[in-house]
């Protein structure tokens, strides 16, 4: 199974940031609570972790999202394309059933890349951080 390359990990780390104390979801002001590099499983208000725990959560979460992307994609991807999709799935969890995935599996790579920019909303509002992240994912996806 492919794994996320260094560029993809750097992108995820940049946009998720690392916080060692649990914080509420920016869009909801509550659930899901998040810690480390965007880790949400079992996180509760007031929870803290060490940097080593945050790093371990990142590796574990990456493997889960890599498996999801590998299971959904039916075409051969470059390492950058795969890594961009893992970042997208890590942040949205929305690859399955998306137009992005449908176009990708039809080998319409340019049209699929254009879909990243549609995923910039939270609670009906355009989020500037998501605009930047989707642009970075698209750029990585299109990088040779």
CA angle 81, 84, 87 (to 5 degrees): 150
Distance of alpha carbon 49 from its chain centroid, rounded?
A: 21
User: Token match 């750029």: residue?
Assistant: 139
Cβ pair 69, 95 in contact under 8 A? yes
Burial level of 40, CB count in 10 A (0-12/13-18/19+)? middle
Q: Which residues are catalytic?
A: 16
For 77-109, what is the HEC assignment? CCHHHHHHHHHHHHHHCCCCCCHHHHHHHCCCH
Closest CA to 84 of 27, 39, 73: 73
């Amino acid at each position: 199974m492919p794994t996320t390359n260094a560029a993809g990990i750097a992108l995820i780390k940049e946009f998720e940031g690392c916080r060692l104390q649990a914080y509420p979801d920016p869009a909801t002001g509550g659930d899901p609570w998040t810690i480390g590099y965007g880790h949400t499983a079992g996180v509760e208000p007031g929870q803290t972790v060490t940097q080593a725990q945050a790093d371990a959560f990142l590796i574990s979460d990456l493997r889960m999202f890599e498996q999801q992307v590998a299971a959904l994609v039916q075409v051969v991807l470059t390492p950058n394309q795969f890594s961009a999709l893992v970042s997208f799935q890590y942040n949205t969890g929305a690859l399955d059933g998306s137009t992005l995935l449908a176009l990708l599996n039809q080998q319409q790579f340019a049209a699929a890349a254009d879909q990243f920019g549609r995923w910039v909303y939270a609670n009906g509002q355009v989020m500037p951080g998501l605009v930047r992240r989707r642009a970075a994912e698209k750029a990585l996806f299109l990088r040779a």
